[in-house]
Amino acid sequence: MTEELRIEERPRLDHPVLVAAFRGWNDGGQGASLAGAFLARAWAARRFAEIDPEGFYDFQVTRPTVSLTNGETRRIDWPENQFLFAPLPGAGRDAIILLGVEPNVRWRAFTGLVTDVAQQFDVELVITLGSLLADVPHTRPSPVTGSATDPALIEQLGLQASRYEGPTGIVGVLHDACARAGLPSASLWAAVPHYVSLTPSPRAAKALVERLVDLLHADIETGELDEAADAYAQQVSEAVAADDETASYVEGLERRVDELAAEDDLPSGDALAAELARFLRERENGIGGDDVARDQ
């Protein structure tokens, strides 16, 4: 098991927090993986460890890809789960960032390796990032809900108790592994418009990043995400305008969100948990909605 975890460097970290984002089931609109990758770039994170993919993937399901180096040398790129570290500007602590791909098999062994890294480097808190498809418009900020199971952590970070029941992905299994290992953990979820599920959502990524740095009292410059979110909204709006039925539906979503905002009654954590349950059930049953921007 230890051979599957390759630690190349042992950085000295100050009160570290581990932030994990996985491509796959818990990554609607790629909001979570975009957020994780942005954090790694913005904080100039350095790689120090990885999980060997050989024992955790069915390569007929999650296939490696071929790329060319300098236009000549062929290289096989395998599914990666890499750990990076960086100081958190303004927070007085460090971060470990796990950027990965949801494995196909041996989830308990996989999450055991993640908690092993957390324990070896004295991680004080594990935070996972996720994104889910929901009835929200692309023209408004993505709502984010944060949850945890530990009452003290809920009180400390201003989160909500996790009330979700139903099918889960690697994020849910990781939180269970953290609980068994005695590691405090929390989860952040951003909502992504279900009618553009195939389009990467920098707006959801931006919402996750802002909520995370607020929790950690860290600093980050989000100009890159701001520009990408504006371009995303414009692109999707153009696609939506080409379909009268979808345009009418989006206008209805906008009115509902604006009315809730005017009443200072934004969607609750329970409402987003219900959306999450629906999202995961549809994934489990192989149901996928049309994506009006899939050809953009």
C-alpha to C-alpha distance for 37 and 43, rounded to whole angstroms? 10
**Measured between alpha carbons, how far is 274 from 280 in angstroms, rounded to an integer?**
10
- What structural domains and CATH numbers belong to the chain? 2-284 (3.40.50.10900)
Tell the burial category of 104 from Cβ atoms under 10 Å away from its Cβ (0-12, 13-18, 19+): middle
Both tokens assigned to 25: 């089931």
Q: Model pTM?
A: 0.85
Contact 96, 18 (CB under 8 A): yes
Contact 118, 181 (CB under 8 A): yes
Contacts of 124 (CB under 8 A, 6+ apart): 15, 16, 17, 184
The pLDDT of residue 290 is 47
Q: Report the candidate in 41, 51, 207, 213 with the shortest Cα–Cα distance to residue 127.
A: 213
- Per DSSP, the three-state class of 255 is helix
pLDDT at site 282: 56
User: Which residue bears the tokens 């809900």?
Assistant: 145
Contacts of 91 (CB under 8 A, 6+ apart): 216, 217, 218, 219
CA distance 222 to 234: 18
| Residue range 213-248, pLDDT digits in tens | 999 999 999 999 999 999 999 999 999 999 888 889
Residues of the chain short of pLDDT 70, as ranges, are: 1-2, 261-296
Between CA 86 and CA 38 the distance in angstroms is 13
What does the alpha-carbon distance between residue 72 and residue 70 come to, in Å, rounded to a whole number?
Answer: 5
* pLDDT recorded at residue 266: 47
Distance CA 24, CA 33 (A): 9
CB 17 within 8 A of CB 125: yes
Give pLDDT tens digits for 122-159. 999 999 999 999 888 998 888 898 888 788 888 877 78
